[in-house]
């Protein structure tokens, strides 16, 4: 049994550190610069940031919504084009009715874009919930966000905020290299 007076604790997060540890097992700070003797330090202990639960929930919600929107656009693109063909006077001035096939193709493209963003968001959600594959999680969220921004969807900006939350939570990922100060 270890003597409590010889136990080391991380200065950053307060977790117990064994003498054989090179880095704190919780936050990744180098033990040589972080450890102190005993557990009676009155200095405030700051836990590493972990926003991954929020990231997982928001990414999952957007992923499902985007997939449903994509399916809706793909399923209704022909119906909308037929509506415009049957009632051109209603859409005059709003939609160029000279090439309805182009309208149908644009609607299908929008559906595919939403579906790609949705799949990438679901990948982000799943991996952030598992706290695995940091770089793939980060890249899938960046790609989902940029796809939306490029095609004029302002929700992509929310995705970029989620990218920042993923980055701030990077030390919570199992595979992220632990930092040395």
Tens of pLDDT along the chain (181 residues) come to 444 444 566 766 667 777 777 777 777 777 665 444 444 444 444 555 678 888 889 889 989 998 999 999 889 888 877 777 777 776 666 666 666 677 778 888 889 989 998 999 999 999 999 888 888 998 998 998 888 888 777 777 888 888 888 888 888 888 777 655 4
- Indicate whether 28 and 59 sit together in one domain: no
Asked if the structure places residue 177 within a domain, the reply is no
- Indicate whether 93 and 156 sit together in one domain: yes
Asked if the structure places residue 45 within a domain, the reply is no
Asked if the structure places residue 18 within a domain, the reply is yes
- Indicate whether 88 and 11 sit together in one domain: no
- pLDDT of 38 reads 45
Q: Which two tokens stand for residue 33?
A: 């610069």
Asked if the structure places residue 8 within a domain, the reply is yes
- pLDDT of 1 reads 42
Asked if the structure places residue 125 within a domain, the reply is yes
Asked if the structure places residue 14 within a domain, the reply is yes
- Indicate whether 61 and 128 sit together in one domain: yes
Nearest partner of 151 among 140, 139, 159, judged by Cα: 159
- Indicate whether 64 and 121 sit together in one domain: yes
- Indicate whether 57 and 31 sit together in one domain: no
Asked if the structure places residue 180 within a domain, the reply is no
The residue with tokens 């952030």 is 128
Distance from C-alpha of 6 to C-alpha of 140, rounded to nearest angstrom:
45
Pure H helices in the chain: 31-34, 52-86, 88-91, 100-130, 134-150, 155-168
Helix axes 52-86, 134-150, angle to 10 degrees: 30
Residue 27 domain boundaries: 4-37
Give how many domains the chain has, as a whole number. 2
Say whether 30 sits in a helix, a strand or coil.
strand
Asked if the structure places residue 84 within a domain, the reply is yes
- The per-residue pLDDT for range 29-82, each reduced to its tens digit, is 776 654 444 444 444 445 556 788 888 898 899 899 989 999 998 898 888 777
- pLDDT of 156 reads 79
């Amino acid at each position: 049994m270890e003597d409590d007076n010889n136990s080391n604790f991380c200065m950053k997060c307060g977790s117990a550190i064994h003498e054989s540890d090179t880095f704190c097992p919780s936050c990744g700070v180098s033990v040589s610069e972080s450890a102190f003797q005993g557990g009676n330090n009155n200095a405030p202990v700051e836990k590493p940031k972990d926003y991954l639960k929020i990231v997982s929930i928001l990414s999952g919600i957007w992923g499902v919504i985007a997939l449903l929107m994509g399916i809706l656009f793909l399923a209704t693109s022909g119906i909308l084009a037929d509506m415009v063909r049957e009632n051109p006077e209603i859409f005059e001035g709003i939609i160029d009715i000279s090439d309805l096939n182009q309208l149908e193709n644009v609607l299908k493209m929008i559906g595919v874009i939403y579906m790609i963003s949705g799949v990438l968001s679901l990948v982000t959600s799943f991996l952030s919930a598992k706290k695995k594959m940091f770089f793939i999680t980060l890249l899938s969220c960046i790609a989902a966000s940029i796809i939306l921004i490029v095609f004029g969807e302002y929700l992509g900006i929310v995705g970029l905020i989620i990218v920042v939350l993923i980055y701030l939570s990077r030390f919570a990922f199992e595979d992220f290299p632990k930092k040395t100060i």
